[in-house]
Chains A and B, each alone.
Chain A
Amino acid sequence: MIRISRFQLFSMLILFQLGTTILFGFASGAGRDAWIASLLSALLGAAIIAGYLALFRMTGGLTLVEWFPALFGRWPGTIAAWLYPLLFLYDAGRIVADIRFLFPITILSGTPDWVIAGSFLIVVVYGLYAGVEVVGRVAGVLFPVVMVFFFLEIVLLVASGSLDAHHLSPVMAEGWGRVWNTVWPLGITQTFGESISFAMIWTYIARKNGLAGTTLAATLAAGAIIALTDVLGINGLGEGVFRQMTLPSLALLKLPSLADFLENLDALGVIYLVVNAFMKLSLHLLSVVLCVRRLTGAKSDRWIIPAAAAAAFFMGMTMADSFTDHLEAGFRNLPLQIWVPLFLVLPAAALAVAGIRKLGNAKGENPS
Chain B
Amino acid sequence: MSGPELDKNPGEHGTPLLELSGLRVFYGAIEALKGIDLTVGRGEAVALLGANGAGKSTTLKTVSGMLAPRHGEVRLHGERIDGIASHELVRFGLGHVPEGRRVFARMTVLENLTMGAYRFRRPDPDDLDRVFGLFPRLHERRKQIAGTLSGGEQQMLAIGRALMGKPELLLLDEPSMGLAPLIVEQIFDILREVNEQGTTLLLVEQNASEALQLANRGYVLETGEVVMSGPADTLLADPRIRAAYLGEHVEVD
Q: Is the pairing of A and B real?
A: no
Partner-A contacts on B (CB < 8 A): none
Partner-B contacts on A (CB < 8 A): none
